[in-house]
Chains A and B, each alone.
Chain A
Amino acid sequence: MAVDVQIPALGESVSEGVIVRWLKRDGETVAVDEALFELETDKASVEIPAPSAGIIAVLAKEGQTVHVGDVVARIEPNGAAKAAAPATPQPAATPPPPSPNPPAPATASAAAAPLSPAVRRLVDEHALDPAQIAASGKGGRLTKGDVLAHLNAPASDSSAEATPSAGPAASAEAPRPPTPYPHPDAPRPGASGDAIERVPMTRLRQRIAERLRQAQATAAILTTFNEIDMSAVMELRARFKTRFAEVHGVPLGFMSFFARACIATLQEMPLINAQIDGTDIVYNHHVHLGVAVGTERGLVVPIVHNAEQHAFADIEREIARLAGLARDNKLGIDDLSGGTFTISNGGVYGSLLSTPILNPPQSAILGMHKIEKRAVVVGDQIVIRPMMYLALSYDHRLIDGAEAVRFLVKVKERLEEPSRLLLGV
């Protein structure tokens, strides 16, 4: 008895999407939960899994717009079907980990030359498609330099004005040095010799553009600034990070400090956590904290739901989990919806100061920036402190200037004296 593969519920206010790519071909054997195709909506790109195992009959085409409930494929249960093919390649064809036997197979493209160890590592870490990278090595091989050049390819207009200051969701001190992600719509280097190149926007890019314009047009967005002396947080972190990692199995970053400080302050000032809906103000009793993550395809903001119930370790764990899913392009609709407040960190990319844009329908967003040692005055002495500028962009229709300022001051106080987080003051 054939099982229908339907387009699932896509989240609040999203009713349609586009099938970007089929990951299984018509007639192939699939396993239950195996990713079948990539669906792109206003919010994100998601992989839709097989509801059962068997042989798939593909009914919809790549590029086709589909709606919730549409049947796009059927799976004929195959009685003799054992476990289907191993994990399908990522949308950016990541080569499988090296097998115990002969050299690791390259990519989906059979013609590709084998990848050297360093190239394999980079391709895995950044989910790249080797076929898309210009190769300069012997026999058409990719060298490490080729991949690095590809990663550092100049991004087009992805400046801070158009998008919210992007940044990885993990702590400001990422395990590896931050690689500037190329703009997903930038033309490939060395494309044509013409003066311009016209590249159609991806659907995701179009949706991001539309949402940001709407955000600007709907809310009265202003930004207020403050600065924090990070020495107390850094000292605490330096003292306990090894033990934290041992006990909780997850690194202690800065994000958990900022998250806890914001959550505590949001609970004191619920207006910042509220939204305008028509002519009503909707107050949220929970804090669903959005943490901005930059990926190859663009900025996504997965949500830590009920963040006020999370301890430090749980926040770090949850953020790491969501960031991983974001980079692997595996975020579900639920992961992306329902946020009430967002934190964005441009510091990892070196941003000193910026004006984040709101993530509608939220009313406020906190921007973290880079920590820089500066000469500041403490008790009439000039001292050197690690300082970070904080920005709070807010919807002035709902939040007054004085409140926005007060919010930032309270967050600052909590971060400069972390014991406040312990005592709830």
Chain B
Amino acid sequence: MTDLVVENISVLARESVLVDDASFRLGCGEFVALLGPNGAGKTSLIRAGLGLQSASAGLSLLGGKPVDALSPTQRARQIAYLPQTRPLAWPNSVRDVVSLGRFSHGAPLGRLKGLDAEAVDRALQACGLLELAGRRTDTLSGGELARVHCARAFAAEAPLLIADEPIAALDPRQQFRILDLIRTYVDQGGGALVVLHDIQLAARYASRMVWMKDGRIEADGPPSETLTAERMRDIYGVAARVEGLNIHIDGAA
């Protein structure tokens, strides 16, 4: 079974410390929410964990091997990565964009065969995009585009998934749809690490919450243990009341 183990990673950029001695583990069947204020180092931690950014200290192991020893394709087959969304460069069709998820399997766009074509169809189906498959991506709404990106990540059929703010700028219904898709992926045996800013949604979906502040991981555990009013004050600087998994944010503390 594939897992991602990040051990004591630190990331430095010029003089400042972006990630400071952070460790976590992502295994299959887990839905991990990565939380923290802007600038806490969440994206840097992810990038260092994936080997896309060099760490000044520490080690990241994917399936037991250091990520920087894997080729980009080997890594991509084991872990799908959904960065914060950027506009697509060209108005490709939905199917072509989702097909890019098969890149690490060597499939060329427009001529997918066999397993690759099936994986793309499954991903389109799972994300409710079959009817939109022929549409140009520049004609889609934000919610539809977010589902296209998800489908692209699922099409890789990698055992692990890392998504950086996949529901930013989406309306509530689309937020639930995207998180439901990721939960289904986890229920089917995948492991997902998702950066979220909506604590309420994170508490509802996540099996574990990883809390970051100033480059350090301050807490890591199930929502029932780590979601507390004190933590909200420490991490985000807000006054909040926590009842079970429900949270009311009263304002800046």
Do the two chains bind?
A: no
Using a CB–CB cutoff of 8 Å, the interface residues on chain A facing chain B are: none
Using a CB–CB cutoff of 8 Å, the interface residues on chain B facing chain A are: none
